[in-house]
Structure 1
Amino acid sequence: MKVHLYGNVLNNSYTLCKFLRKRGVNATMFLDNWSNHEQDYPWREDSSLSPTNLPEWIKYYNYKPGKLTFHFPNQEMKKMIKDFADCDVALVNNVGAIIAMRAKVPYFMYSLGTCLDMALIGDKIKKAIINLSHFQRPNALLTTLVLGGLQKRAIKKADRVGILMGYQIDTHARKLGIMHKIELMRLPWDIQKYEKNDDPELKKNYSEVDLVYFMPTRHVWQTLWEHDFCKGNDKFIRAFAKFVKDDKPNVKLICVKKGPDVSVSMKLISDLEIEEYVEWIDEMNKDGIRAYNSLDNIIIVDQFGHDDWKQRWPNNREFGIGFSAIGYEAMSARNVLISTFTDLQFYDNTAPPVFMAFSEDEIYVKLVETLKLSAEERKTVGEKGFEFFHKYHNWESTTDNFIRQLENILKSDD
């Protein structure tokens, strides 16, 4: 079975392609410069790689397609589509559905969120109007207007559609009329890469504090309307301020300079007069993330959403939020995780061993609880998180499920 992959959000195609090949599948990943985010390129995941040093199973087309290029392919895209068509079946994500549709090959499209969101043109236009009424710039409206219709057609033409976030079934799949072709999938994760590997210098830097709260989440919280998803960094920062003022712990909060609201987060920290407890670091590749995850006294902090989410999604019964890559990394590294998580149904209605919190008060309670944990108790919680995550996201069973989907598509085309 010859499989071509395209669409590398958070390096998912890179990881999937590696695992497919490990299972003996003739898989090739196609890569161009479509994404504006460094996190979507293999060299972010593996620092030994670069645009000029890639494995033979990655075909890199060093050009940047514009939005209109997907409607009117230029010579570079035509060449890529022609090459992409030389496969038995395609495995695609994001705008990869458009590439596969143009290549006229059978394809399985899986969504990590934005793939389906882009196709809900009416919802995007409504949000844009609300944005403007709040004096906010419409987020990704141009992309939706230019590509939304094409993306919707490509999704509907997909042989099967993989849903990797359970809450998107009602909010997206049902609206798009694709319920008859969805499959619930889980993303394979390279768990082994997150085994603890001490960085002596980093360890020394934080040896004087009892706990390090590491929040690598991008800072997106100032408005409910401008961005696709609010991370709720402000809620955590305010809860952390109460924590350090009331409980006087010997702790440090590490924030990453990533996201549109970094400056307002810095101002909030200054206004709360907790700067001595907070350290800002530059955005880093996965080697850096793994180094911080290897600290013995680390607590990982992820995302918390917006308190007023119901204003934006009035028809939703509950606030839908699953694990992000940060949560994946924390559990892979056997670390304690503080985050909002509601996607229980997607995990057999099993509550993960995570310090779950949504409101500012709940976050404060979890901060106090994590402070009271002994090193041995943190280790126990981390082991339980690892076992939970390994059960659902180990590369063997998750990759085999993708292979089954691809094989079923080929069987149905016979």
Structure 2
Amino acid sequence: MDLKNIFVSTLRILNAFNTCQDAYNVTKAMRQRGIDADLLITNKESNVFSIPLWEDGEINGKIFGDPLNPNCSILEHLKLPEWIKIVNLNTKLGPLRYLDFLKELCTIFKNYDVIFAHVPASMYSMLLRCSYIPYDAGLIRYLPFSKNYLPPYKKRFYHNIKYQLLKKSYEKAKIILFTNPDTLRIFNEAKLRVQFVPFAIPHDKYAPKPKKGLFKNYDIVFFMPSRHHWVEKGNYKAIYAYKKFVTKHKNSLFLMVAWGNDLVRTKELINKLNIPSKNIKFVDPMPKRKLIDMFNESDVVLDQFTLGSWGTTTPEAMSCCKPVIMYYNKEVVKECFRSLPPILNAYTIDEIYEKMELCVDPQVRQKYGVQGREWVKKNHNPSLVVDIHIKAAKELLREN
């Protein structure tokens, strides 16, 4: 008798909330393995990037309105898979509405054996006394575990309480899954029990495709889809580096996505450096299928240059056979992955510029692109991610 398969087949899993599609991709991979897993989202997502249709739907992103304050009521009129559940969150009705929200969550949560709690579900799971495993994709940088934690985006009284509750939910957790190697030091200092899990990247979807020739009049196209948040992404470094590059390579293009708290600062810097408008283009936030097209239309992808590890942009681009320039901390990445990634590692402005120059050579781009895709297929494989989740669930239930 295969006790392992019996355990998995009888387990009911909820991936609660969907920050940047992490939970959606994991849930989908679990169901492809025959696991009874559901995804929970709210009817009031804080940005469009958390709506499942953004990942897999053939949609025009503009139907949701402002991508940073989307009209999620449209979800009621769209056909979603039966395994995607929606919980009602309407904060406009006042603080007492949260009591109804918690009651609704409690009704949902009690139907599952384990809740993988994406932000901010660990807080609710703790309050409702559920069996939960926090899934951390960088939140701990903002929690007051150390003196050097990053300040929250909003400094209202409510948010201070929220971050304290999230911190407490991490302290009470039996195990935490974390995706960002640079945060391992914070977890260790806080003496929290953790297990590294890579982002799930479906390489059959994120794959190389022939160019359509959108930018055929340019010699080389750089694409930086990262949000404009300088303290995390270091966008300004890439812009200073490109200023040096475009002085020599006047028929190049630098593409960026127009979103993030520091977008205005980015545009002001571009104007200050007098980078010609023909060499800089901003595109609107786009659903993932269009993002895949944009990866394939570009020659080189730039990501982030401050924290020392990556989110989903880097492995998604690598899976599309694109060379990536970004900064990663070799020491912490080596602790989490089987091998170091074939990434053009750069931290300073000069290093970024040097890697840009290196990528002028098509053979260099081809080499890093091919090696990068193979690395992602091994290290960000959704099946591997599911295995780690199941192992953590077994440990949690055994201890409970």
Determine if the TM-score, normalized by the shorter chain, exceeds 0.5. yes
Partner secondary structure for residue 177 of structure 2? strand
Number of the residue aligned with 1:308: none
CA contact (8 A) 2:142 2:150 kept: no
Question: Pairwise mapping of residues 40-119 of structure 1 onto structure 2 (< 5 A)?
Answer: 40-48=50-58, 51=75, 52-65=78-91, 73-114=98-139, 116-119=140-143
Match of 1:263 in 2: 264
Task: In structure 2, give the amino acid aligned to 1:369.
Answer: L
- Report the 3-state secondary structure (helix = DSSP H, G, I; strand = E; otherwise coil) of the residue aligned with 2:160: helix
Runs of 5+ consecutive residues of structure 1 not aligned to the other structure: 129-137, 222-228, 306-319
Local SS of the residue matching 1:294: helix
* 1:69-218 map, 5 Å: 73-114=98-139, 116-120=140-144, 123=147, 139-142=153-156, 144-171=159-186, 173-178=187-192, 181-198=193-210, 200=212, 203=213, 205-218=214-227
Higher mean alpha-carbon deviation, 207-216 vs 140-149, is at: 140-149
**Distance in structure 1 (CA, Å) of the matches to 2:338 and 2:381:** 19
- Structure 2 contact 58–289 (Cα < 8 Å) conserved: no
| Contact 1:339/1:355 (8 A) holds in 2 | yes
CA drift at 1:299:
0.6
Q: Residues 338 and 357 of structure 1 are in contact (CA less than 8 Å); yes or no, is this contact kept in structure 2?
A: yes
Asked if the contact 1:212/1:299 (under 8 Å) is kept, the reply is yes
How much does 1:287 deviate?
1.8
Q: Which amino acid aligns with 1:213?
A: F
Q: Secondary structure at the match of 1:53?
A: coil
TM-aligned CA deviation for residue 198 of structure 1: 4.2
Task: Classify the secondary structure of the residue corresponding to 1:167.
Answer: helix
Deviations 1:41-61 (A, max 9, x none): 112112247613211001112
Whether the 8 Å CA contact 1:81–1:102 is kept in 2: the answer is no
- 1:408 matched to which residue of 2? 395
Counterpart contact for 2:199–2:312, Cα < 8 Å:
no
Name 2:379's counterpart in structure 1.
392
TM-fit CA distance, 1:349: 7.4
Equivalent in 1, 4, 28 of residue 14 of structure 2: 4
Q: Structure 1 residue 14 and structure 2 residue 3: aligned?
A: no
Q: Distance in 2 between matches of 1:149 and 1:233?
A: 30
Of the three residues 359, 373, 395, the one matched with 1:370 is 359
**Matches of residues 304-343 of structure 1 in structure 2 within 5 Å?**
304-305=305-306, 320-342=307-329, 343=332
Q: Secondary structure at the match of 1:219?
A: coil
Q: Aligned partner of 2:341: which letter?
A: P
Given the alignment, which residue of 208, 232, 235 partners 1:233? 235
1:53 to 1:395, Cα distance in 2 relative to 1, 3 A:
same
SS state of the match for residue 82, structure 2?
Answer: coil
Q: Distance in 2 between matches of 1:347 and 1:67?
A: 44
Contact kept in structure 1, 2:182 and 2:333, CA below 8 Å:
no
- What is the CA–CA distance in structure 2 between the aligned matches of 1:127 and 1:410, rounded to whole Å? 33
SS at structure 1 position matched to 2:256: strand
Deviation sequence 1:42-87 (CA, Å, 0-9, x none): 1211224761321100111243358996x98332331122121111
CA distance in 1, matches of 2:16, 2:115: 8
| Superposition pairs of residues 25-44 of structure 1, within 5 angstroms | 25-33=35-43, 35-44=45-54
- AA aligned to 1:329 is E
The alpha-carbon distance between structure 1 residues 68 and 176, as it changes in their structure 2 partners (threshold 3 A), is farther
Q: Residue in 2 aligned with 1:224? A: none
What's the CA shift for 1:279?
A: 1.2
Alpha-carbon distance, 1:410 to partner: 2.0
Say whether 1:359 aligns with 2:348: yes
* Distance change >3 Å, CA 78–CA 117, structure 1 → 2: farther
25 and 300 in structure 1: CA distance in 2 versus 1, 3 angstrom threshold: same
1:198-227 CA deviation, whole Å, 9 max, x = no partner? Answer: 463xx2x21121211011111122xxxxxx
Identity rate, percent: 24
2:46 partner SS:
coil
Q: Aligned partners of 2:32 and 2:150: how far apart in 1?
A: 43
Q: For residues 208 and 388 of structure 1, what CA distance do their matches in structure 2 show? A: 31
> Which amino acid in the other structure matches residue 331 of structure 1?
M
User: Aligned with 1:74: secondary structure?
Assistant: helix
2-side partners of 1:347 and 1:121: how far apart? 21
C-alpha contact (below 8 Å) 1:243/1:364 kept by paired residues: yes
Contact 1:121 1:149 in 2 (8 A): no
Compared CA separation, residues 408 and 79, structure 1 to 2 (3 A):
same
- Is 1:381 the counterpart of 2:368? The answer is yes
Q: SS of the residue aligned with 1:191?
A: coil
Which sections of structure 2, spanning at least 5 residues, go unmatched?
Answer: 1-10, 60-73
Q: 1:243 aligns with which of 242, 245, 251?
A: 245
Q: What RMSD over aligned residues (CA atoms) do the two structures have, in Å?
A: 2.5
2:301 maps to a residue whose letter is I
* Number of equivalenced pairs: 370
Letter matched to residue 291 of structure 2: I
Q: Structure 1 CA distance, aligned partners of 2:185 and 2:44?
A: 29
Structure 1 residue matching 2:195: 3-state secondary structure:
strand
Aligned-pair CA distance for 1:364:
1.1
Q: Distance in 2 between matches of 1:300 and 1:81?
A: 43
- C-alpha separation in 2, matches of 1:337 and 1:47: 26
Q: Identify the residue that residue 65 of structure 2 maps to in structure 1.
A: none
Separation in structure 2 between the aligned mates of residue 322 and residue 68 of structure 1, nearest angstrom:
39
